[in-house]
Amino acid sequence: MEDVLRPYVPTYYGLVERDEQTYIKMEDLLMGLEAPSIMDCKIGIRTYLEEELAKALLKPTPRKDMYNKMVALEPDAPTPEEHKQQAVTKPRYMQWRESVSSTASLGFRIEGVTVEAGPVKKNFKKMKSRDKIMETFVLFTKGRKDILATYLDRLEKMQTALQNSEFFRTHEVIGSSLLFVHDRRGFSNVWMIDFGKTTPAPPHVTLRHDVPWEPGTHEDGYLLGLKNLIAAFRDTMRTVEETAEETSECLEQQGDISDKVLRKREIEGNTTNGENKEL
């Protein structure tokens, strides 16, 4: 890729033939890292192509498998009629799925998190609260300001690159993720990954990526999601800094109290000794 986005994607080494199968050879983003922690954030206000939705709308057949997926995540989500049929159509399921997480509201969602101790067991599919997302960022980084600062800087530079990218202006980026990686030594970085649903926009369309999607526009809301993600990281960093300051002040106050108690005991001890001498 000869584009300003080149530094933000894994290096592509071409195709490899093995056992009569063709594979894509790419850079290993975890090579050389010590006990890496990983977070996958899906970016954009939808994760399905317009063609997928249009095709599903042509024959909206009620499906039991999608009903089962829906009730497994949110038992009250189906309508009374859907409960009666025990089936939902694919278009209904696709649009409901985005509304359950923060995809529809914030333009991004956390797909999964792994730290040194192993995978973080949270129901990310239903995580919509911005506060819960920020709590996850703190858990993921262990509240380390240096790692948060590096991530924030990388995201802001990526945002600028995207706004200046000819490739980005002419492509619909659906179902793509940002991969956050850091290790115990403090190395940290973010890459754009997962381009299986990245497709050229129609010739007459120049995408903005920062407006809500309406059928036929091919807008993906990628920049909307990235803007909200940056704001969430910035607020997380501010919260961590404020918490550190409050903790420091609390420790100082405790130290002052301890000093006063010790001085009081010394004075009381001296007074007692003086009284004993008089006796």
Average pLDDT score over the chain: 89
130-141 pLDDT, tens digit per residue, is 999 999 999 999
Note whether residue 80 is domain-resident: no
The per-residue pLDDT for 109 is 96
The per-residue pLDDT for 53 is 87
Q: Indicate the pLDDT class of residue 269, thresholds 50, 70 and 90.
A: low
Which residue has better confidence, 279 or 132? 132
Note whether residue 22 is domain-resident: yes
59-106 pLDDT, tens digit per residue, is 889 999 999 999 999 999 999 999 999 999 998 998 899 999 999 999
174-224 pLDDT, tens digit per residue, is 999 999 999 999 899 999 999 999 999 999 888 999 999 998 999 999 999
**What region does 35 belong to: left with phi over 0, alpha with psi -120 to 50, or beta?**
left
The per-residue pLDDT for 257 is 54
- Burial 192-218, CB ≥16 within 10 A → b, else e: bebeebbeebeeeeebebbeebeeeeb
Indicate if the pLDDT at residue 270 is higher than 80: no
The per-residue pLDDT for 74 is 92
The per-residue pLDDT for 249 is 59
Sign of CA dihedral 115, 105, 8, 138: negative
How many Å apart are CA 104 and CA 224, to the nearest integer? 11
Q: Indicate the pLDDT class of residue 55, thresholds 50, 70 and 90.
A: confident
Count the domains in the chain. 1
Q: Counting beta carbons within 10 angstroms of the beta carbon of residue 133, is it exposed (0 to 12), middle (13 to 18) or buried (19 or more)?
A: buried
Domain that holds residue 123: 6-41+106-251
Note whether residue 128 is domain-resident: yes
The per-residue pLDDT for 273 is 57
Q: What is the mean pLDDT of residues 227-247?
A: 91
Note whether residue 259 is domain-resident: no
Indicate if the pLDDT at residue 10 is higher than 90: yes
Note whether residue 256 is domain-resident: no
151-184 pLDDT, tens digit per residue, is 999 999 999 999 999 999 999 999 999 999 999 9
Which residue has better confidence, 132 or 246? 132
The per-residue pLDDT for 208 is 96
Note whether residue 24 is domain-resident: yes
The per-residue pLDDT for 23 is 94
Question: What CATH number did the domain enclosing 203 receive?
Answer: 3.30.470.160
User: Any alpha helices (H) in 74-129, and if so which ranges?
Assistant: 80-85, 90-100, 103-106
